[in-house]
Amino acid sequence: MKSYTASEPLFVDTWGWLVLANDRDPSFPAVAGIRHEYVEKAQLWVTTDYVLDETITRLFAGTPFVKARQFCDAIFDSCKLGLLVLEQITPERFQRAYKLRLRYRDKPRVSFTDLTSFTVMRELGIHHVLTADAHFQQVGLGFHRLP
């Protein structure tokens, strides 16, 4: 039984992109199924420039160049087609993320990129995130991880 519906935007974290780029990843079938459901219902995916920074860095470091480039080009094409919204981390969002960094002093392993993602998700009212990163739930902001 699914604990979500593809009726609201889905935030895509670095983990989600990396799984989609690697069809041999054990999580690929579940993530591809979620992608299919969102595409079928024309629901938006949302990510940030910071998440793509991490994704692009890791893809080109561990994936053959041509495959990494094709995958990244497909992400940017999705933006052009309006299927994916690429949110920028503005100075204001950066400051809000830094305030979260100070608030979660007991969680030093939460990355600053994750904090910027939390900021954008809260601002846009997004509750579901494509990630295996437990930090999205550990902060207690009401986020639900998929798959």
5 occurs within a structural domain: no
- Which token pair is 33? 């199924």
| pLDDT tens digits, 49-88 | 999 999 999 999 999 999 999 999 999 999 999 999 999 9
- Tell me how many domains the chain contains: 1
4 occurs within a structural domain: no
Task: Tell me the one-letter amino acid at 11.
Answer: F
Query: What pTM value is reported for the model?
Result: 0.93
pLDDT higher than threshold 60 for residue 5: no
48 occurs within a structural domain: yes
pLDDT category of residue 6 using cuts at 50, 70 and 90: low
User: The domain containing residue 59 runs over which residues?
Assistant: 10-146
2 occurs within a structural domain: no
Q: Average pLDDT, stretch 99-114?
A: 97
Percent of the chain exceeding pLDDT 90 equals: 91
109 occurs within a structural domain: yes
59 occurs within a structural domain: yes
- Give me the CATH number covering residue 64: 3.40.50.1010
35 occurs within a structural domain: yes
| pLDDT tens digits, 121-143 | 999 999 999 999 999 999 999 99
Query: CA geometry: angle at 124 spanning 147 and 37, to 5°?
Result: 35
Distance of alpha carbon 41 from alpha carbon 37, whole angstroms: 6
88 occurs within a structural domain: yes
